[in-house]
Amino acid sequence: MKTIVVCSGGLDSVSLAHRVADEGGLIGLISFDYGQRHRKELDYARTCAKRLGVFHDVIDMRAVGSKLTGSALTDDVAVPDGHYAEETMRVTVVPNRNAIMLSVAFGVAPARQADAVAIAVHGGDHFIYPDCRPDFIAAFQAMQDRALDGYASVRLLAPYVNGSKAEIVTDGALHGTPFAETWSCYKGGDLHCGRCGTCVERREAFHLAGVDDPTAYEDPEFWKAATEGFKAEEVR
């Protein structure tokens, strides 16, 4: 299947790109610049496309991003520290982000002669992000089947949708993903901060997968306290 991977440059989507490339189906990557403060990750997506020898479409959606207010990823709102699945992480939601990115990808796919679009949503996203859940993925495919009826047939692949981020690390390692060449931190500084939700989630995933984490964090130990605090809260 000729597949375009939606690739942010993060650990999940770069691992997915390597997996699809290994399976022989990768034809290109598509990335979205929606004015996120961690735009640095786009450089990692570009590097990934070069490494895998495929095209890289970067879609400038900053005009759209500026209209989607209320997220700590695009606005002048502080990115919270803590565990990724906490209620406080709701401020990192960009409303309708995946629906927007996927519909653009499904518009690009026929022009690129692709018959599949792959996205790296995973089980750990489900608490906070409704547009990462299995029922969203199924409903999106159903919508697209109607929108492109008679013009194109494009499948939406989400192989990690029921897995954990630790399983992505395991899978990424299996397919030779150079994890140091991926970016997660929402704050977009020189190093991964180690304190924001996605840094804590990243560090925890390597730990659970038993894979060496090559990432340099500003605060490499914070994740333990955040993870334990989150578990204690869940028990209450």
Residue 8 corresponds to which tokens in the numbers above? 């942010």
Residue 36 corresponds to which tokens in the numbers above? 């996120």
Nearest approach, Cβ of residue 155 and a second copy (Å) = 15
The answer to whether the annotation marks 66 as part of a ligand binding site is no
Q: Is 64 exposed, middle or buried (0-12, 13-18, 19+ CB in 10 A)?
A: middle
**Residues 84, 140, 183, 206: which binds a second copy (CB under 8 A)?**
140
The answer to whether the annotation marks 150 as part of a ligand binding site is no
Residue 46 corresponds to which tokens in the numbers above? 């570009």
Angle at 46 between CA 97 and CA 36, to 5 degrees: 35
From 60-68, 76-84, 116-124, 161-169, span contacting a second copy (CB under 8 A): 60-68
Nearest approach, Cβ of residue 15 and a second copy (Å) = 24
- What dihedral angle (degrees, nearest 10) is formed by the CA atoms of 188, 191, 193, 197? 60
CB within 8 Å of 154: residues ≥ 6 apart: 106, 109, 110, 114, 115, 116, 117, 144, 148
The answer to whether the annotation marks 132 as part of a ligand binding site is no
Nearest approach, Cβ of residue 92 and a second copy (Å) = 12
From 36-44, 146-154, 162-170, 194-202, span contacting a second copy (CB under 8 A): 146-154
| Binding-site ranges for a second copy (CB under 8 A) | 57, 59-61, 63-64, 67-70, 93-100, 102-104, 106-108, 110-111, 130-131, 133, 135-136, 139-140, 142-152
Give the residue ranges of the annotated binding site: 7-17, 185, 193, 196, 199
